[in-house]
Amino acid sequence: MGSCQKSSSSHHSQLVFDAASLNYDEASTSTSSPGIMSTFEDTICAFCGIPLKPGAGVVLDKCLHNFCRDCLLGAIEVTDDVATTGCPVAEETGCDGSLLDREVKAMLSPEAYEKYLTRSLNIAVQQMNDFVQCFNTRCNALFALHDRNNTFEFKCGKCFRLNCLKCKTLRDDVGQCECINPPDRKIAKIDPELKRDWDEKWNHAQSSIIFSGANGGELIQNTREFQCNICFCDIGSGEGVILKECFHLFCKDCLNGTIMHCEDLRVKCPYTVNEFMCNSFLTSGEIKALLGQEEHEKFLKRSVVQAEMAMSNSFHCKSVNCPGWCEIDNEVGIADLEHFFCPVCKRKNCLKCKAIHEAVSCTEYQQQLQEDEMDTKTKQMIKAKITSGQAMKCPTCKVIIEKVSGCDAVICQMCKTHICWATKGPRWGPRGIGDKSGGCHCREKGKVCHPKKVWYCSRPHQKEDWSRHRSDCFPAVLTTSPIFGRYLSATRDIPEGTLILKEKPLFSAPNGKNGAFLLCLGCYGIVPTDQPPQLCTKCGWPLHKNCVQSKEHVENECAIFSKMGITPSSREENIYDKIVVLRGCLLKLRDVKKWDCVGKLQDHKEDRFRTTDGANLSKTMVEFVQNKCGLSEAFSDIEIDHVLGCVMVNAYVTEDNLTSSPNFHAGSFVYWNGSMPAHDCTPNCRWIIVQGGELRLWSLRDIKEDESLCHCYAWGGTGTIERQRHLLKTKFFSCTCRRCADPTELGSFFSGIKCKIESCSGFILSQNPAQVGSTWACNQCKASAMQELEVDSFIQELREAHFAVTSDCPSPEEMGSGWRTILQRLEEYDESVLNKLAPTHFFIQEVEQDIMLRISYILAQEQEFQIEREERLRLAGILVKLSTKCLSLLEKVAPGLTTHAGRQYYYLQQGQGIFIMDQIRMQNESDSTSSQALQALRKEISHWQGIRKRGARILESESPGREEWVLGRAMVDNDETSSGGL
């Protein structure tokens, strides 16, 4: 049941209708004729102004104007120039409504209705003026021309040829038409045979209508063969339908399919020719006659749902399975109304609470609702903790027991039962305390559980507890500090190169930081644009072929995007950033345990809202999830903003850089344990995300027991100023680690600028590097000083000069035959910058990394670049020199097995390998070689192999979508071959 409340003006009426009211031939809101809607309240006729009682007037379906029956009958009778009867007040109000066929039929007698149909068909034919036939002998299509005085040519809609009506030829056939702008063109008349054919079709249609009307049928069927405008099949007599409102002909199967696939409230005539589309609709009687009973019931139910969805102010009855609903008048508003009495279930709905609470007041109901919500959340939390192993039921009294930490031998405080936490059963056997037949040996011989992580008294207990402990089985424990907050500390000594942690994400999504790529919503890889992409069959978003059934997409946004019409063509700004927040929110509905973890992550709301951008971003995300995704009742503003904060503060973003690799993926991932390592600009861990979203945390160096696990939240290859700004902007804190607190950055002078006084050998450094905006001064003479903005401007000028040097070939692949010139310019620029900055300055490192990258590429493509021996050795020498310098610097600022060190080892072994191969070639060409020279060569080869193994050890663990992984595989795959050659 539903009610639709409209404005209470004199020209409109309030309506009440039920689910079957869309079938106007079977149900109505009054005792009047089927097929029309009667007035529901006291009103007046919009045409003559007489008062109308409820049920005495008629409400037109198309425009909702109220009329008395006499005015409508008069309008039908006087309409003799158009095929359909318009709204009687069309001229006064500009209304474009008209009477539907079922409305006319309900108001006229059967004989008068047949005369009305005949007259409408005659008018339709008379409006078609003259007919012409396409002059293409292979086409012969028939057309009606509506403007006989001004039409001189027409383009055939079937063969698309241009017809000249004066010459009666095809204008685009060369030499056939010679008339140019003739002043006296006339319209070609239809061929007599075609005119007789049309007359026959008209007579058949006319007789069919009369026959159908006499027998009370709802369908006008054809009496001779025709071609369906949709499927273009030849349709036999009685197998087609002539629509009542527009007289277009179709086969029954096509009309049936049109009805079942229609997503609008009313089914439109499917007739289209070129750009013309018929605006008429199928009548309810035609729809019912075309569909079976079961299909018709489905259609009615779907129509009711569509009608409800189409109304912005609709309210659905809160009774279980009740179909009743209403639309609240916009002029009244839901805030001004209190109750809605559902005419279907006869229950009173509270519009304020959006619920049925007839026995209690709104205040009492809201209080009960809060208590029920708290009770539900408590039950969900307890269930999640039992599932995860954080809580259990006492095996004796069934009370809930929770163990935060400590020994696995616990005692129930209610019934005093001794319990083994690992087995979730009694600690002692049936004979009571001391009976070890139960299999538990906790605290025997003075053993206690490990105070930091977990301890098992026996292997059976360890095996039984593995399903709970598995996700927490890594050599670190969560620790809390009043200064540093939560962080992971090592539970034992961890050697360098140890895989500390592997973890699947709580939630993840593609990352759109590089807007040049279209990403798969399943695996986050690049979707090729050189061919039509594989699209999701439900929502239309691009996916890789093997990701069509990916749970990441299907169980998250797929149904939402499909329902709300969010498609790639919608051009939703920053859509991937919004998808990751949406997926995080959906955990509330899909996974209570993960949602609980998300709730415990930090979101730095106060810090984010200190800027206008932060507040606007939160508002945008709330708007997307609640309104565009239609989830306003599922998630509150606070919940959505918290998920956004968790993403901004805790998310990992993949660093794959090899876009041509099939393993490339670009995603944002949020983890529980992965969010706990602390930050340090001289880290002891590095992280990697492989395909599938698994986080892997590796130790960079030896880590002592109780030492904090940390990685660098910023790129360590920049100076302290850049790192501090990045941390403040994205992580909302300032770093105070040893490196940041030291102006020299642990003696590396990584941000040092040469003193402007020539006689001084000092470097200009920040006086307070941990504070943004600090003054800079020389560490020796103290005379030279700079403001931070001056330092920024100075470095920016150097970067622009570097860009100018390489602007004509920004990547090694683009150097071509001019590579010598490019390298010379870069080497000269490097020398010039060395006179301005400390030799270990981070910007000089950027320039020298560019030089090494290009040299490495040239040496790898040696034959293509036609390099001579002396030039090859010179380039190899530069590689060895610069990579050695960088490795020495990394020992100060980022010691251990860092990815950057792995790349330097690749450059170093590449340069040394060229020198070794040259020595071998020279010794092979020499007549005699001393044993000392051979021994020295073997030492060099052994040292070279050690470099390769260390570099491969670092880079092998990288994501296969990164170039570093390819370099690591090259050092492994070629090691035996190279050794054999040497």
CA 873 to chain centre: 52
pLDDT number for residue 5: 34
Distance from C-alpha of 638 to C-alpha of 577, rounded to nearest angstrom? 18
Asked if the model's pLDDT at residue 893 lies above 50, the reply is: yes
CA 13 to chain centre: 44
Task: Name the DSSP class of 244.
Answer: T
The per-residue DSSP string of 501-521 comes to EEE--SEEEE--SSTT--B-T
Q: What is the pLDDT of residues 264-291, one digit of tens each?
A: 778 888 887 666 678 788 888 888 888 8
Residue where a domain terminates, one of 619, 641, 670: 670
**Averaged pLDDT, 564-569:** 86
CA 266 to chain centre: 32
74-88, 423-437, 924-938: least confidently modelled range: 423-437
Same domain for 202 and 71: no
pLDDT number for residue 33: 63
Q: How confident is the model at residue 215 (pLDDT cuts 50, 70, 90)?
A: very low
Mean pLDDT for all residues in the chain: 80
632 occurs within a structural domain: yes
Q: How confident is the model at residue 596 (pLDDT cuts 50, 70, 90)?
A: very high
Same domain for 170 and 87: no
Same domain for 265 and 148: yes
Q: What is the pLDDT of residues 667-677, one digit of tens each?
A: 999 999 999 99
Tell which wins on pLDDT, 335 or 373.
373
In one letter, which amino acid is 898?
T
pLDDT number for residue 141: 63
pLDDT number for residue 451: 41
Same domain for 262 and 230: yes
Distance from C-alpha of 380 to C-alpha of 74, rounded to nearest angstrom? 68
Asked if the model's pLDDT at residue 809 lies above 90, the reply is: no
3-state secondary structure of 486: strand
Q: How confident is the model at residue 139 (pLDDT cuts 50, 70, 90)?
A: low
Distance from C-alpha of 219 to C-alpha of 212, rounded to nearest angstrom? 7
pLDDT number for residue 429: 75
Q: How confident is the model at residue 15 (pLDDT cuts 50, 70, 90)?
A: very low
Q: Are the C-beta atoms of 705 and 490 separated by less than 8 Å?
A: yes
Q: Are the C-beta atoms of 47 and 79 separated by less than 8 Å?
A: no
pLDDT number for residue 455: 61
Q: How confident is the model at residue 457 (pLDDT cuts 50, 70, 90)?
A: low
pLDDT number for residue 842: 95
**Averaged pLDDT, 22-34:** 40
**Averaged pLDDT, 631-640:** 93
Residue 794: left if φ>0, alpha if ψ -120 to 50, beta else—which one? alpha
Which residues contact residue 973 at a Cβ distance below 8 angstroms, ignoring those fewer than 6 apart? none
Tell which wins on pLDDT, 769 or 132.
769
203 occurs within a structural domain: yes
Q: Are the C-beta atoms of 751 and 842 separated by less than 8 Å?
A: yes
pLDDT number for residue 336: 59
**Averaged pLDDT, 250-273:** 82
pLDDT number for residue 850: 93
Share of the chain above pLDDT 70, in %: 80
pLDDT number for residue 76: 86
Q: Are the C-beta atoms of 784 and 760 separated by less than 8 Å?
A: yes
Distance from C-alpha of 141 to C-alpha of 135, rounded to nearest angstrom? 8
**Averaged pLDDT, 627-642:** 93
pLDDT number for residue 620: 94
Tell which wins on pLDDT, 47 or 5.
47
Asked if the model's pLDDT at residue 467 lies above 90, the reply is: no
Q: What is the pLDDT of residues 853-863, one digit of tens each?
A: 999 999 988 77
Q: What is the pLDDT of residues 295-310, one digit of tens each?
A: 888 888 888 777 776 6
Same domain for 171 and 69: no
Asked if the model's pLDDT at residue 24 lies above 50, the reply is: no
Asked if the model's pLDDT at residue 112 lies above 80, the reply is: yes
Distance from C-alpha of 669 to C-alpha of 342, rounded to nearest angstrom? 48
Task: Name the DSSP class of 375.
Answer: H
pLDDT number for residue 740: 92
Residue where a domain terminates, one of 626, 654, 670: 670
For residues 173-200, one letter each, b for 16 or more C-beta atoms within 10 angstroms of the residue's C-beta and e for the rest, the string is: eeeebeeeeeeebebbebeeeeeeebee
Same domain for 618 and 528: yes
Same domain for 148 and 97: no
Same domain for 522 and 625: yes
839 occurs within a structural domain: no
Q: Which residues pair with 316 in a beta bridge?
A: 325
Q: How confident is the model at residue 407 (pLDDT cuts 50, 70, 90)?
A: low
pLDDT number for residue 150: 61
977 occurs within a structural domain: no
Q: Are the C-beta atoms of 490 and 476 separated by less than 8 Å?
A: yes
Specify the residue for token string 């984010």: 608
CA 258 to chain centre: 32
Asked if the model's pLDDT at residue 869 lies above 60, the reply is: yes
Q: How confident is the model at residue 641 (pLDDT cuts 50, 70, 90)?
A: very high
**Averaged pLDDT, 797-817:** 84
Number of H helices, E strands in the chain: 29, 44
Q: How confident is the model at residue 358 (pLDDT cuts 50, 70, 90)?
A: confident
Specify the residue for token string 């309810």: 284
443-457, 473-487, 785-799, 833-847: least confidently modelled range: 443-457
pLDDT number for residue 13: 34
Same domain for 428 and 327: no
Distance from C-alpha of 886 to C-alpha of 577, rounded to nearest angstrom? 36
Asked if the model's pLDDT at residue 130 lies above 80, the reply is: no
560 occurs within a structural domain: yes
pLDDT number for residue 213: 38
**In 187-328, which residue ranges form alpha helices assigned H by DSSP?**
192-214, 252-260, 284-290, 293-310
Same domain for 449 and 341: no
Q: Are the C-beta atoms of 477 and 491 separated by less than 8 Å?
A: yes
Share of the chain above pLDDT 90, in %: 28
CA distances from residue 719 to 775, 789, 834, 844 in whole angstroms, order as listed: 15, 14, 17, 12
pLDDT number for residue 664: 86
pLDDT number for residue 103: 85
Q: Are the C-beta atoms of 52 and 58 separated by less than 8 Å?
A: no
Q: What is the CATH number of the domain that holds 269?
A: 3.30.40.10
Same domain for 274 and 151: yes
950 occurs within a structural domain: no
3-state secondary structure of 825: helix
- Is beta strand 162-164 parallel, antiparallel or unpaired with respect to 153-155? antiparallel
**Averaged pLDDT, 129-142:** 62
Torsion, CA 695, CA 699, CA 703, CA 707, rounded to 10? -30
Q: What is the pLDDT of residues 309-344, one digit of tens each?
A: 666 677 888 887 788 878 776 655 555 577 888 888
Distance from C-alpha of 423 to C-alpha of 462, rounded to nearest angstrom? 9
Asked if the model's pLDDT at residue 210 lies above 50, the reply is: no
Distance from C-alpha of 275 to C-alpha of 745, rounded to nearest angstrom? 71
pLDDT number for residue 514: 61
Q: What is the pLDDT of residues 918-967, one digit of tens each?
A: 988 888 887 777 788 888 889 999 999 999 999 999 999 898 888 899 99
Tell which wins on pLDDT, 973 or 727.
727
Query: What is the number of structural domains in the chain?
Result: 5
Asked if the model's pLDDT at residue 739 lies above 90, the reply is: yes
Residue where a domain terminates, one of 61, 87, 108: 108
Q: Which residues pair with 112 in a beta bridge?
A: none
Q: How confident is the model at residue 182 (pLDDT cuts 50, 70, 90)?
A: very low
Most confident residue range from 63-77, 103-117, 651-665, 747-761: 747-761
3-state secondary structure of 881: helix
Q: How confident is the model at residue 821 (pLDDT cuts 50, 70, 90)?
A: confident
378 occurs within a structural domain: no
Q: Which two tokens stand for residue 777?
A: 């001064």
pLDDT number for residue 704: 92
554 occurs within a structural domain: yes
Same domain for 13 and 153: no
For residues 374-384, one letter each, b for 16 or more C-beta atoms within 10 angstroms of the residue's C-beta and e for the rest, the string is: eeeeeeeeeeb
Range of the domain at 552: 505-670
Q: What is the pLDDT of residues 222-235, one digit of tens each?
A: 777 888 878 778 88
